[in-house]
Structure 1
Amino acid sequence: MILTVTPNPSLDRTYEVPSLDRGEVIRATGERMDPGGKGVNVSRAVAAAGQRTVAVLPLGGAPGALVADLLDAQGIEVARVPVVGATRSNIALAEADGVLTKINAPGPELSAAEQELLLETVRAQSVDASWIACCGSLPRGLAPSWYAALVARAHAAGTRIALDTSGPALLAALRERPDVVKPNAEELAGAVGRPLATVGDAVKAAEELREMGAAAVLASLGADGQVLVNDSGAWFGSARVDAVRSNVGAGDSSLAGFLIAGGDGPEALASAVAHGAAAVQLPGSVMPTPGDLDPGAVTVTADVPVDRVLREQVS
């Protein structure tokens, strides 16, 4: 079982519009409602793969109830942490030409008691977990050190923990030695404070995160692939993608694939790449099933192409 923790989940409403005209009444041509948040997406990807997952979520108000109902309909167990504030509702406006405009609400502010209840719920639910995946930004009220406290408690209980966050929360958590961290290229560059121009730059930055405390680093480089750096060395993985339809949740799908495959070594990297490549070829935030995967399109090598220039360079 993979336990996910999303401290700031959301109810995501997407409206399809012909175009976005400021100051005008815009009539949507389509709409959908999804449970949102990076950890939520990891749970959705794990469930789509046919594996058991439990999502720990602070939920409040009518939006929180809807998030729980939507996840339940997808066969995902929810460990609900009641909070006074209403779960945030995010809005996405998808124009006909492919441009996506997102409005993300800040979310509720968690009290000290709610913060402690969230940690205690994770502890109680993690008894049968092979991994805990902690993902996304922190809501108001939680200090950047909150993830560090969660990593420390998980390790004290003997549970492996994967962390997908950024900024001060990532840097603070590194001192507690999370088992794997999963930054994208932008987050990796931000953590080391310099731009990334090549695959070699990304590997060096990942090695620096390991020096800061991460046991392993799984870094997504967008269309350029993924790198895994751990005690045994570095690997580079990439996949053939015929057509990109949506990259929403692709990184979360990759993390799910990595953990499903054991969360260690080149085999897990291959699974991460396969899941990410499948996700970008599906519409919206749809998560891939085993039938969507194409392992034959994936290449993983220890001969890392350090001089390869990244197509999406990060400053």
Structure 2
Amino acid sequence: MILTVTPNPSLDRTYEVPELRRGALLRADTDRVEPGGKGVNVSRAVAAAGGRTAAVVPLGGAEGALLARLLDERGIEVAGVPLTGSTRVNVTLVEPDGTLTKVNAPGPELSTAEAAALLDAVRARAADADWVACCGSLPRGPGPGWYAELVEAAHRAGTRVALDTSGEALAAALAARPELVKPNADELAEAVGHPLATVGDAVKAAEELRVRGAGTVLASLGADGQLLVSEGGAHWGSAPVATVRSDVGAGDASLAGFLAAGGHGPAALAAALAHGAAAVGLPGSAMPGLADLDPASVVTTADVPVDRPLGATRAGRLP
């Protein structure tokens, strides 16, 4: 079972519009609402592929009640923590060429008691989980050390931790030694304090995070594939995408695929790539099921293309 923790979840409303014109009345072609937040998306992807998952989420107001109902309808066990504030609502506008315009709400501010209740909810369920996936930015209220506390709590329960966050929260949590961290290219550069020009630079940055406490680094490099750096060395991979509809949640789908495949080694990297590639071909923040995956098209190799410039365009291939 994969337990996810999303301290600032959302309802994600997506509109597909024929054209985005500033100051105009826009009529959407489609309208969909999905439970959102990075950890929630991981749970959705695990459940869509037939796995068991539970989601620890703070829930407030009518929006929180709807979020809980949508999760339950998708076969996700909900470990909700009541809030005095309301769960946030995010809006995404999608144009025909795949361009996204997103408006993310800040979300409610968590009190000290509410932040502590979230940690208690993790402690209550962590021992039954194969992985605890801690995902997303922290809401207003908890300090940057909150994720470090969560990692330590999961470890005391004997459970491995996958961490997908950035900035001060990532820096603080590395000292608690999470088994896996999952930055994208920008977050990886931010974590080491300098730009990354090539895949080789990304490898060195990932190795620096391992020295600072991360067991394994799974880095999403956008159109330049995904990179896995662990005690067993470095591996790189990519996967084809016929049509890009939305990249919202694609990185979360990748993390779900990686963890569901065991969370270790090239086979798990291949599963991450297959899930991520399938996700970008779906509308909004929809998560892929088994029928959407094309694992035979994934390429992984220990011969990492270290000289490849980051940001290079490879038409038709995305992680």
TM-score tier after normalising by the smaller chain length: over 0.9
Deviation at 1:92, TM superposition (A): 1.9
Deviation at 1:275, TM superposition (A): 1.1
**Within-5 A mapping of 1:41-120:** 41-120=41-120
Deviations 1:127-168 (A, max 9, x none): 210000000010000111000110011111111000000111
SS of the counterpart of 2:101? strand
Gaps of 5+ in 1: none
Greater mean deviation of Cα atoms: 131-140 or 191-200: 191-200
State the distance in 2 between where 1:14 and 1:242 align. 21
Letter in 1 for 2:242: D
**Preserved contact between residue 6 and residue 55 of structure 2 (Cα < 8 Å):** yes
Identity of paired residues, percent? 71
Residues 1:246 and 2:246 are matched in the alignment: yes
**Preserved contact between residue 34 and residue 286 of structure 2 (Cα < 8 Å):** no
Residues 1:309 and 2:309 are matched in the alignment: yes
Residues 1:274 and 2:271 are matched in the alignment: no
Report the number of matched residues: 313
TM-aligned CA distance change 1:223 to 1:70, over 3 Å: same
**Preserved contact between residue 14 and residue 284 of structure 2 (Cα < 8 Å):** no
Deviations 1:177-223 (A, max 9, x none): 00000001111111111111211011011001111110110001112
TM-aligned CA distance change 1:281 to 1:176, over 3 Å: same
Deviations 1:110-138 (A, max 9, x none): 11111111000011012210000000010
**Preserved contact between residue 240 and residue 297 of structure 2 (Cα < 8 Å):** yes
Look up the match of 1:161.
161
Deviation at 1:289, TM superposition (A): 1.4
SS of the counterpart of 1:196? coil
Deviation at 1:12, TM superposition (A): 1.4
Deviation at 1:312, TM superposition (A): 5.0
State the distance in 1 between where 2:237 and 2:226 align. 5
Letter in 1 for 2:2: I
**Root-mean-square deviation over aligned CA pairs:** 1.5
Look up the match of 2:317.
none
Gaps of 5+ in 2: 314-319
TM-aligned CA distance change 1:53 to 1:240, over 3 Å: same
Letter in 2 for 1:291: A
Look up the match of 2:290.
290
State the distance in 2 between where 1:67 and 1:270 align. 31
State the distance in 2 between where 1:288 and 1:162 align. 20
**Preserved contact between residue 45 and residue 288 of structure 2 (Cα < 8 Å):** yes
TM-aligned CA distance change 1:207 to 1:11, over 3 Å: same
Letter in 2 for 1:301: T
Deviations 1:70-124 (A, max 9, x none): 1111111111100111011112223445432211111111111111110000110
Structure 1-normalised TM-score?
Answer: 0.95
State the distance in 1 between where 2:135 and 2:259 align. 13
**Preserved contact between residue 222 and residue 312 of structure 1 (Cα < 8 Å):** no
Deviation at 1:287, TM superposition (A): 1.3
Look up the match of 1:32.
32
State the distance in 2 between where 1:95 and 1:12 align. 17
**Preserved contact between residue 185 and residue 221 of structure 2 (Cα < 8 Å):** yes
SS of the counterpart of 1:214? coil
TM-aligned CA distance change 1:208 to 1:36, over 3 Å: same
